[in-house]
Structure 1
Amino acid sequence: MNRAYLMLIGSVFLWGLTVVPMKWTLDTVQPFTLMFLRLLLASLLMLPFAWRGRRQSPESSAPIPWKRIAMLSFTGVAGYFWLNTYGVSLTSGVNASMISATLPLFTLLLAALYLREQIRPVQWMGLLVGICGVLLITVQPQAGGRHSLWGDILVLASQLIWTVYVVQLKRPQGEEKLSRELFTALSFLLGSLMLLPFAAWETWHHGLPAVSTRSLLSFLFLVFCCTILAYLLWNKSLETIAAAKAGIYLNAIPLFNVLTSILFLNEGMSWRTVTGGVLVLAGVVWAERRSPASRHAAEGL
């Protein structure tokens, strides 16, 4: 196996470890505060290197489309992290991981509605099977009551808003002239600023977070490994591997998150979760058999 595929697998593996450190950090840190600090620190660490690369690039004179990046940050950064992190704080890691596997299905649906891309009958069947799987996972009387249901809904909404972001990227309006590093760093920075009022409100009502050793190490792992390192490995691998081919590997992320949630969070799996997860993954595989749109979902990362 060559170096590019090792970096690709490494990035997918790190993204597949996100749920556990997020849950551990949420033990002592409020959701909005966690999102704000994670995005802000990642952007401040990435921005100097990304800006230096821009100055050395032949396209250094290209203007930065601030309004466009702000709009993309609203959906793909602030909106996604707002819904996903808050949802994870309310539901189980297993449920959140299984529901996150619906991303290709939403991409397929929005590509048809927004980009007018044709969906074949076999893809509609895959979408229907995936939706049935989501319903089995979320509608569980024994899953922890109303809070778990709302958490599932928020995680599901985060996949939908991320798909909106991906579809927006398929019609670029100037952001394609920026390097991936600079675009991501600026998106993180603007996204953190959008979340700042919510984090400030949270701190006002709940006070400063009580930092423990486990929550601090988990937060640093989220920032350096699950955010910065995973992105750099993914970006580097795409220099050799086509995005459509690399995107197939993203389907392994929910499986890693499920396994780590069971191992480290001591979470169980009901028959509904297992059956629903199988249906979601089957629907994704079925829909992606002839779906260039869903395979290109990785281009938004």
Structure 2
Amino acid sequence: MSKANLMLMAAVVLWGITIVPTKWGLETFPPFTLMFLRLVLASLIFLPFAWKRAQERLGTILVPWGRIALLSFTGVAGYFLFNSAGVALTSGVHASIISASLPLFTLLLAAFYLKETITVPQWLGLFMGTLGVLLITVQSDTQHGSSVLGDLLVLASELIWAIYVIQMKRPQGEERLPSELFTALTLFIGGIMILPFAAVETWIYGWSELTLTSLWIVVFLVLGPTIMAYWLWNKGIASTSAARAGIYLNAMPLISVLGSVSLLGEHLTWKTVFGGVLVLVGVFGSERAKRIEQPVAVSTE
């Protein structure tokens, strides 16, 4: 396996297992506070490096602040507010499988807002994925840590992220920024947007009792899935195709489910397994149909 593929795999593993330390961290921190710490600390570490590198490449940096704020609202603050609240109320298994439905939301929104055509195979994949999500979310098993409300909040976070993806398909100046700087800025601004919610949590529940374990969890969330995974992904994708990279991303739900079962001690019901299979088959079918329709780009270099 090439170095680029190893980097992509490492990034996907880091993203896939994020659900485990997040659930552990929620035993100490309220959800909004944990996300605020993760995002702001990561951006404070990442932003100076990204800004300096952008200055070396561009000289003068023109940041479309209004656009960046809007993207930070949907792609960071909105997504993490709903996702963290949902993860706190449902099981890691449910959250992992529901998160796999993102391409289906993106497909549907692209049809409505970008006027992209949905083919019959894509409609079939969308139908199967929707059935799978419904099969998972309609069951509430508080004994095993899942709830309908938590599932719906995770589902809402995927819808918000799909809106962000659609926004990115119609760039309005942010495409001129280096990807490192764009990511660092959106993480920081999105984290600041979460601050009022974290402050309310602190006012209601008081300060969290910090332990060495909880501090290590925050450190891992900041350095692992937020900084290191991003760096590995961008390094790896620079040397491989987007199609191959997409294959690795499709493995994330499986990694998350395996982590939830093996490290969190969660259980799989037949409804969850069957619903998960429907979601994954629906996503795979939709994405495969899209790739078949797209012309193959031939490099002349």
TM-score by length of 2: 0.94
What residue in structure 2 maps to residue 179 of structure 1? Answer: 178
Residue pairs, 1:1-301, within 5 angstroms: 1-57=1-57, 59-144=58-143, 148-291=147-290
Rounded Cα–Cα distance in structure 1 between residues aligned with 2:207 and 2:173: 39
Q: Percent identity?
A: 58
CA distance 1:22–1:4, shift in 2 (3 Å): same
Letter in 2 for 1:27: E
How far does residue 244 in structure 1 lie from its aligned partner after superposition?
4.0
SS in 2 for 1:173: coil
Deviations 1:205-261 (A, max 9, x none): 111111223322222111100110000111111211233431232111111010010
214-223 vs 116-125, greater mean Cα deviation: 214-223
How far does residue 62 in structure 1 lie from its aligned partner after superposition?
4.2
Rounded Cα–Cα distance in structure 2 between residues aligned with 1:125 and 1:162: 22
Letter in 2 for 1:179: P
Letter in 1 for 2:275: G
Letter in 2 for 1:53: R
How far does residue 121 in structure 1 lie from its aligned partner after superposition?
0.6
SS in 2 for 1:32: helix
CA distance 1:106–1:144, shift in 2 (3 Å): farther
CA distance 1:146–1:113, shift in 2 (3 Å): farther
Unmatched tracts of structure 1, length 5 or more: 296-301
Rounded Cα–Cα distance in structure 2 between residues aligned with 1:214 and 1:133: 36
CA distance 1:62–1:292, shift in 2 (3 Å): farther
CA contact under 8 A between 1:24 and 1:214: conserved in structure 2? no
Deviations 1:5-56 (A, max 9, x none): 1111110010011000000000010111111111100000001110110111
Rounded Cα–Cα distance in structure 2 between residues aligned with 1:244 and 1:72: 25
210-219 vs 71-80, greater mean Cα deviation: 210-219
Letter in 2 for 1:29: F
Deviations 1:254-294 (A, max 9, x none): 1101001001111001111000000000101111112259x
CA contact under 8 A between 1:80 and 1:158: conserved in structure 2? yes
Rounded Cα–Cα distance in structure 1 between residues aligned with 2:42 and 2:219: 10
Rounded Cα–Cα distance in structure 2 between residues aligned with 1:172 and 1:242: 22
Rounded Cα–Cα distance in structure 2 between residues aligned with 1:129 and 1:246: 24
Root mean square deviation, CA, Å: 1.7
What residue in structure 2 maps to residue 298 of structure 1? Answer: none
Rounded Cα–Cα distance in structure 1 between residues aligned with 2:29 and 2:140: 28
TM-score by length of 1: 0.94
SS in 2 for 1:291: helix
Rounded Cα–Cα distance in structure 1 between residues aligned with 2:23 and 2:60: 43
How far does residue 146 in structure 1 lie from its aligned partner after superposition?
11
CA contact under 8 A between 1:10 and 1:230: conserved in structure 2? yes
Rounded Cα–Cα distance in structure 2 between residues aligned with 1:32 and 1:142: 24
CA distance 1:205–1:142, shift in 2 (3 Å): closer
Q: May I ask how many residue pairs the two structures share in their alignment?
A: 293
What residue in structure 2 maps to residue 299 of structure 1? Answer: none
